[in-house]
Amino acid sequence: MSALTRRATEADLDRVMELERAVFSVDSWPESLMRAELTDEHGYYLVAVDQDAEIPHPRGEGTAERPRAAGAAQTLLPRGEGTTGPDCTPGEKSALLPRGEGTTPDCPALLGYAGLRAPRGGSQADVQTIAVAPEVRGWGLGRGLMHALIAETGRRSIPELFLEVRADNAVALALYRSLGFVEISVRRRYYNDGGAAIVMRLQVPATRMQLAGSDRPGETRS
């Protein structure tokens, strides 16, 4: 697999929402909220796409986990800024299909996405969301996306990064702890199904702050 990580744009909305609903179900955001997040001036959203194997295939009508689950292992670190991937037409309903099954070369499969709210000049940033397609969990995409959000927080000279994670999501909790996040509180009945959320905080490493502005995010492959 050749994974490409790039800045998300509003043109990615339909595919992001498809994965959002598949992963988070009753806790999924409405499309209007996701659109606002993708276009917010204080936001920083990334998508991870696969140009080699799985391609969204348009289907007919009706085709169809805050933060959330992630994988572990390989790292994707964006460099450069403002780049965009292939031009995928907004508005199509799509599904992930193996290579050769109705693929279209201009629309790479969405493997995952992640979002950050980090006002420049502020004292804290928040991981708004992170999702990885079930088929590619354990490949390191979640860890890579988190590294990218942490790096961007440092580039914006923000000293603290916060997130919420389901108390019963052992895999995500282990990932965030391995990245240096610590638990600071619990929010009872935070999710729509009554589940609790653990609030976690990362003191952004001094090295990240020192490197702020020295490299810019954009496209990377792995």
Examine the residue annotation and report whether 164 is marked as an active-site residue of this protein.
yes
Q: pLDDT digit of tens for each residue in the chain (222 aa)?
A: 677 899 999 999 999 999 999 999 989 999 999 999 999 999 999 999 977 654 443 333 222 235 543 333 333 333 222 223 334 433 333 333 333 333 344 445 899 999 999 999 899 999 999 999 998 888 899 999 999 999 999 999 999 999 999 999 999 999 999 999 999 999 999 998 999 999 999 999 866 665 554 545 445 444
Hey, is 216 helix, strand or coil?
coil
- Alpha helices by DSSP H, the chain: 13-24, 31-39, 141-155, 170-178, 206-210
Residue 65 tokens read as 């986990």
What is the amino acid identity at position 182?
V
Beta bridge pairs of residue 116? 44, 127
Task: From the candidates 44, 113, 176, 190, give the one annotated as an active-site residue.
Answer: 176
Give the per-residue pLDDT at 153. 95
Domain that holds residue 207: 3-221
Instruction: Identify the pLDDT of residue 208.
Output: 61
Question: How many helices, marked H, and strands, marked E, lie in the chain?
Answer: 5, 10
CA dist., res. 171 & res. 71, Å (int) = 8
What is the number of domains present in the chain? 1
Would you state the structure tokens that stand for residue 30, as one six-digit string?
């409405």
Please tell me the distance from the alpha carbon of residue 15 to that of residue 50, in angstroms, as a whole number.
13
Instruction: From the candidates 18, 20, 152, 164, give the one annotated as an active-site residue.
Output: 164
Is 54 labeled as catalytic in the residue annotation? no
Reduced to 3 states (helix: H, G, I; strand: E, B; else coil), residue 7 is strand
Please report the pLDDT score of residue 67 as a whole number: 52
- Eight-state DSSP code of residue 88: P
In the block, tokens 């391995």 appear at 178
Which CATH number covers residue 42? 3.40.630.30
Residue whose structure tokens are 């909305």: 13
**How far separated are the first and last CA of the chain, in Å rounded?**
8
Instruction: Quote the pLDDT of residue 190.
Output: 92
Q: If you ran DSSP here, which 8-state letter would residue 30 be given?
A: P
Q: Do the beta carbons of residue 163 and residue 127 sit within 8 Å?
A: yes
* pLDDT computed for residue 59 by the predictor: 33
Q: How far apart are CA 92 and CA 175, in angstroms?
A: 33
